[in-house]
């Protein structure tokens, strides 16, 4: 069965896995599809939908936050200020607090990387031609028996039997 791209206005799934790209788009106003992702997250919060991700969600989000800071792509820090740790440290702390605050509002469950998940990563990478972090997310979803993921990048579109909640941005 092929991957299904779902609209954010569709009836909510029983549970949902979230990726870092969706999380950061919901958090950062300058990101493409920000408002759509934020409104979808609010629907999930209001309904109490169980949200899952691996323990790598926060580090992945921080990696994106760091890229914003390094490029000066946010009004909170310039590229020149990035070179000074006196600006970098509070910027990164702010990002961490922003991400944690967002997740705290949701019915969020963090999944540890268990041996069964770890054992599945290489095969998911090879079979679907995806990066290790995406393979970890997929292996975690498979372990949980969860076919629903909120993700706005195209990597998961080549994986069969998934329902990708991306507001059908790749069909528009």
The model's pLDDT over 113-153, given as tens digits with 9 standing for 90+, comes to 999 999 999 999 999 999 999 999 999 999 999 999 999 98
Sign (positive or negative) of CA dihedral 157, 61, 36, 146? positive
Mean pLDDT across 32-45:
96
* Domains contained in the chain, number: 1
2 has a pLDDT exceeding 80: no
Percent of the chain scoring above 70 in pLDDT: 98
CATH number assigned to the domain comprising residue 40: 3.40.50.1010
Identify whether 64 is part of a domain: no
Identify whether 24 is part of a domain: yes
Q: For residue 29, how many other CB atoms are within 10 A of its CB?
A: 10
Identify whether 158 is part of a domain: yes
Domain that holds residue 21: 4-57+107-165
């Amino acid at each position: 069965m092929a991957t299904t791209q779902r609209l954010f206005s569709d009836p909510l799934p029983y549970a949902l896995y979230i990726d870092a790209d969706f999380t950061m788009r919901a958090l950062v106003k300058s990101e493409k599809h920000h408002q759509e992702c934020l409104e979808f997250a609010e629907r999930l919060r209001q309904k109490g939908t169980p949200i899952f991700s691996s323990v790598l969600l926060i580090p992945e989000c921080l990696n994106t936050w760091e890229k914003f800071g390094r490029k000066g792509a946010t009004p909170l820090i310039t590229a020149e200020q990035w070179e000074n740790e006196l600006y970098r440290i509070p910027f990164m702390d702010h990002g961490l607090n922003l991400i944690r605050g967002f997740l705290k509002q949701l019915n969020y469950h963090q999944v540890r990387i268990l041996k069964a998940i770890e054992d599945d990563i290489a095969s998911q990478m090879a079979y679907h031609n995806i990066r290790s972090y995406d393979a970890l997310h997929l292996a975690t979803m498979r372990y949980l028996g969860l076919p629903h993921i909120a993700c706005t990048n195209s990597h998961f579109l080549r994986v069969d039997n998934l329902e990708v909640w991306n507001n059908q941005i790749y069909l528009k």
